[in-house]
Chain A
Amino acid sequence: MKARQTEMAPEPGSVLPAEVELLLAGHLGPDAAPEMFALADVHPSGRFGQAWAAVGGRRLAIADFNAAEGPRVSVTPLDKDVELEIVAGAGSSRFRVIRQGRLAEELRFSCRQGKRFSRLLHSAQRLSRGERAVAAGEAAAPAEEALCRKCGRLIPEWADTCPRCLHRRRILWRLMGYALRRKRLLYVGFGSAMAAAALDLLPPKLTQLLINNVLMPSDHRRTEWLWPLIGAMAAIIGVRVCLQHLRLNRLAQLGEYITHDLRTQAFAHLQKMSLAYFSKKPTGHLISRITQDTERLWDFVAFGIVEVVLSAVMVVGIAAILFAAEPALALLTMLPIPLSVAVTYFHVRAMRAMLRRLWAKWSGMTGVIGDVIPGVRVVKAFTQEEREIARFDGKSAAVLDDSVRVHREWTMYWPKLSLLLNLGTFAIWAYAAPRVLNRRFELGTFVMFLGYVWMFYGPVEHLGMMNRMFQRAVTSAHRVFALLDAPPTVYTKPAAARGRRVAGGIRFENVSFSYDGVKRVLQDIDLVVEPGRVIGLAGPSGGGKTTMINLVCRFYDPVEGRITIDGIDLRDWDLHDLRSQIGVVLQEPYLFQGTVAENIGYGRPGATMDQIIEAARAANAHDFIVGFPDGYDTTVGERGQTVSGGERQRLSIARAVLNNPRILILDEATSSVDSKTEMKIQEAIDRLVRGRTTIAIAHRLSTLRRADRLVILDKGKLVEQGSHDELMAADGMYAGLHKTQAQLHALFAV
């Protein structure tokens, strides 16, 4: 296990060098420090270059180091004569400063600096409006998310702290901490493993005694030892079997307990994480962390560590016995051992690279099959069979080539290893046999040496694989610990009051939001919703409607500005109080594995059957539920009864009704259902909405007409708001959308 810690400079652009800061500070004006900066890392010629831009004190300063004659600094006051823009390109973008309608500066930067320039642009725009460079509620530098502050390296997606800056030994210790919770298992398992290893060392030694002192004719022959020695051999074999069982059984159990602890801890921790966390990490990764990584740790704890420790003990033990008997021959016998370990180490490394490559080729080949079979109609229709056959042949040949290479490697390794160990045997023969003949070496010792030399095979293999095994275990352990250590990004402040009732007034104050830190999906949204009112959100897709409801549920926190409910900032609400009083009916409602009744009662575990039926009635779901052969006991979810889209929606409405929320979030389904079902859903929604503050993403004209007020979003901005009639009269974007929709309706109605 090696702890290579290559020193690295911080990612370019994440730190403003002191000399640049000095150069810029003078130009930003008296006592104005650079508040936001960015590095233009591409020279106009296309090489890497260096030019810095910084804002502060209502000015923008640029220090350009690209010219050969030395740095050039320019300053632009941020007033209304200035236009700033970012021209996004493929791989390289440009930051333009236009002053009084003329291009004043143009800087080129690569993708790496995109976020920083985007932030710089926003800051500059804020400063030019006379606001502060960094908005309230916006951290000064969250853009460095993925880079370690210590070593400047990228932090893997699954980690929240830099794995390289954490000591590997510390991770292993932490893992051992879990093992120590089950001391009995640990001690019994480890103890019997050590005892079994010690017993393993005895048989050749006994053979030596038997030959030298019992079988060989000599002056001090002890024939009375014969049966005790045979008895001892039998005892060793018997006890070893018991110890072996104890070791395997106890350590396997220990491993299971550790993985169980880790698994349950990880799953419990996941439930506390914010939605932002889940959107960053693909579900597959999280599942594999809870299952695969913990499984790998089981293997490591139950067998890996013990094998390595035992191997080392065996090698040392055998060496001690051999050296005590015949130092010169012992040295000769041991000589190939380090070499064998090295050969194994390199073999494991080479195999790993080769197998990775083979695996990639293999997936390329299976990719062709996976591609062609579903597309077989296309292949046949265009008579491209020959081409596909040739394509597959090529991929298969690549697999063949690499497989042959893999076989060449391992078929070389095993003979090499056995050659090395046989060298030991050969050395014993060549050294000892002539001496035995001359009576200068005891026959029993000769046989003992031969007995031990074969016992090196196993330990050598384990020691050679040790590095790889540790590396895998540390990675897995770290992945699991990284999950356990990730702080929830959205959480309840400790000072938040608990048990507050929601009245239902919602207010957006100058809210901006961005998922990735570059593109603003919501910009400066101001909106007031009085308690009990129904607000319809409409506008082209990608306008920010879903983001708005995500913010109301506090799945995310705004980047700028704030959202209040009853005048209290969402961040000051108790998260449980808040969410339990917001009801959500989503476009594609999710049904858990379970019965219909369980699904309706999901948000309110203690609900009585009367309440569930009442909720189902209110959602117009009761009749179709009773129509199922198993009624409310029907199993739905992945493997259950198929439930149609319209039924699903009504079940989800029932779920919301039962919770009796003060605020309702409604995301209308886009897919059309037949008009009778549609009517039933409408009825249910009408009942649900009554008396509740509702924010609805509306697609149906009927819902739009019924809303007290419509809010039209386009490209993250609130472009129009008012009642249906007002907006139709204004003849803006809504009127346009409405006309298209009405035409579509007319078309289908024919």
Chain B
Amino acid sequence: MNTNGPDAGLRLWRDERGRLVYRAAPEAETSENVRVARCFPWTRRDEYVSIRDKDEKELCLLRSLDGLAAETRRLIEEELNADEFAPRITAVERVETMFDLMTWKVRTASGPVELQVRQAEDVRQLDSGRVLIRDHAGGTFQIENVAELDARSRSLVEEHLG
């Protein structure tokens, strides 16, 4: 394992099955079916990306994506984005509480959606101010900055934040 800075020799590519293949340096051995993961998905999104083999052993920890070969960097970003789905909420239309359950009708950057939230604790605010809402199926929806929402949405969110 190496914790590297810029490393132009490192390469990732896709094989015909669509799986990622990793090679640390031009002469090194290749590892198949690897995956990439963010270490700080909420606080330092574009730093500290871990490349892991299929048994979840770390092959390499990238402190930053800068300095990688353009194609490899594009592929890593594509993979990271494909694994993530936490739509940004742009407006809250209605929050209905009934029988301990909340139904949030929201608009997100990905489209309008209705969330069913089990517990008050599933709506939480990180220290950075970002609000995360977890729905019953385990999906995460986020509000990057509550202050940027319209007044009505803001008051609805604040009422349920705690």
Residue A106, interface by CB 8 Å:
yes
* Cβ < 8 Å to B, chain A residues 90-110: 90-94, 96, 98, 101-103, 106, 108, 110
Residue A357, interface by CB 8 Å:
yes
A331 smallest CB distance to B (angstroms): 38
Residue A361, interface by CB 8 Å:
yes
Residues of B close to A356: CB separation below 8 A: 120, 159, 162
Measured CA separation A371–B36 after assembly (Å): 34
A164 engages B98 (CB within 8 Å): yes
Inter-chain contact count A-B, CB under 8 Å? 103
A360 engages B162 (CB within 8 Å): yes
| Contact status of A98 and B100, CB under 8 A, knowing A91-B139, A157-B118 | no
| Contact status of A112 and B100, CB under 8 A, knowing A83-B17, A89-B83, A106-B18 | no
A112 engages B137 (CB within 8 Å): yes
Given A83, A91, A159, which contacts B99 in the complex, CB threshold below 8 Å?
A159
A92 engages B84 (CB within 8 Å): yes
Given A103, A157, A164, which contacts B17 in the complex, CB threshold below 8 Å?
A103
Q: Which of A98, A112, A157 has the most CB of B within 10 A?
A: A112
Interface size (A, Cβ < 8 Å)?
Answer: 46
Residue B116, interface by CB 8 Å:
yes
Residues of A close to B130: CB separation below 8 A: none
Residue A42, interface by CB 8 Å:
yes
A48 engages B83 (CB within 8 Å): no
Please tell me which stretch of B4-12, B58-66, B107-115, B146-154 contacts chain A, meaning at least 4 of its Cβ atoms lie within 8 angstroms of it.
B107-115
Q: Find the A residue at minimum CB distance from B138.
A: A111
Residues of A close to B103: CB separation below 8 A: 153
Residues of B close to A146: CB separation below 8 A: 136
Measured CA separation A108–B137 after assembly (Å): 16
Given B37, B41, B85, B159, which contacts A110 in the complex, CB threshold below 8 Å?
B85
Residues of A close to B16: CB separation below 8 A: 101-103
B161 engages A360 (CB within 8 Å): yes
Residue B75, interface by CB 8 Å:
no
B17 engages A92 (CB within 8 Å): no
* Cβ < 8 Å to A, chain B residues 89-127: 96, 98-101, 103, 109-111, 113-114, 116, 118, 120
Residue B81, interface by CB 8 Å:
yes
Residue A543, interface by CB 8 Å:
no
Residue A478, interface by CB 8 Å:
yes
| Contact status of A478 and B18, CB under 8 A, knowing A47-B111, A48-B111, A48-B113 | no
Residue B140, interface by CB 8 Å:
yes
B100 engages A475 (CB within 8 Å): yes
Residue A675, interface by CB 8 Å:
no
Q: Find the B residue at minimum CB distance from A115.
A: B137
Residue A8, interface by CB 8 Å:
yes
B98 engages A8 (CB within 8 Å): no
Q: Which of A89, A93, A114, A158 has the most CB of B within 10 A?
A: A89
Residue A601, interface by CB 8 Å:
no
A591 smallest CB distance to B (angstroms): 33
Measured CA separation A101–B18 after assembly (Å): 9
Measured CA separation A89–B138 after assembly (Å): 12
B99 engages A154 (CB within 8 Å): no
A670 smallest CB distance to B (angstroms): 24
Measured CA separation A413–B64 after assembly (Å): 57
Residues of A close to B159: CB separation below 8 A: 353, 356-357
B141 smallest CB distance to A (angstroms): 10
Q: Which of B41, B85, B158 has the most CB of A within 10 A?
A: B85
Measured CA separation A30–B128 after assembly (Å): 57
| Contact status of A111 and B139, CB under 8 A, knowing A47-B111, A92-B82, A164-B98 | yes
A91 engages B113 (CB within 8 Å): no
Measured CA separation A711–B155 after assembly (Å): 59
Residue A17, interface by CB 8 Å:
no
A321 smallest CB distance to B (angstroms): 40
Q: Find the A residue at minimum CB distance from B116.
A: A154
* Cβ < 8 Å to A, chain B residues 35-50: 35, 37, 41
| Contact status of A475 and B99, CB under 8 A, knowing A92-B85, A102-B17 | yes
B99 engages A164 (CB within 8 Å): yes
Residue A163, interface by CB 8 Å:
yes
Residues of A close to B17: CB separation below 8 A: 83, 96, 98, 101-103
Binary contact track A38-50/B, C-beta < 8 Å → 1, others 0:
0000101011100
A154 engages B84 (CB within 8 Å): no
Residue A156, interface by CB 8 Å:
yes
Residues of B close to A112: CB separation below 8 A: 135, 137, 139
Binary contact track A598-610/B, C-beta < 8 Å → 1, others 0:
0000000000000
Residues of B close to A156: CB separation below 8 A: 99-101, 118
Residue B21, interface by CB 8 Å:
no
* Cβ < 8 Å to B, chain A residues 518-573: none
Residue B86, interface by CB 8 Å:
yes
Binary contact track A121-152/B, C-beta < 8 Å → 1, others 0:
00000000000000000000000001000000
Residues of A close to B158: CB separation below 8 A: 357
Q: Find the A residue at minimum CB distance from B108.
A: A48
Residue A203, interface by CB 8 Å:
no
Q: Which of B99, B118, B135, B138 has the most CB of A within 10 A?
A: B99
> Chain B residues in contact with chain A, CB under 8 A?
16-18, 35, 37, 41, 81-87, 96, 98-101, 103, 109-111, 113-114, 116, 118, 120, 135-140, 158-159, 161-162
Listed A/B pairs (28) with beta-carbon separation below 8 Å: A6-B96, A8-B114, A42-B85, A47-B109, A83-B17, A89-B82, A89-B83, A90-B37, A90-B83, A90-B84, A91-B86, A91-B139, A94-B82, A98-B18, A108-B85, A110-B85, A111-B137, A153-B101, A154-B116, A154-B136, A156-B99, A157-B118, A159-B99, A163-B98, A356-B162, A360-B161, A364-B162, A475-B100
Known: A48-B113, A111-B85. 19 other contacts (CB 8 A): A46-B85, A48-B110, A91-B84, A92-B85, A94-B82, A98-B17, A101-B17, A103-B16, A106-B18, A110-B139, A112-B139, A146-B136, A154-B136, A156-B99, A156-B101, A164-B98, A356-B120, A359-B162, A475-B100
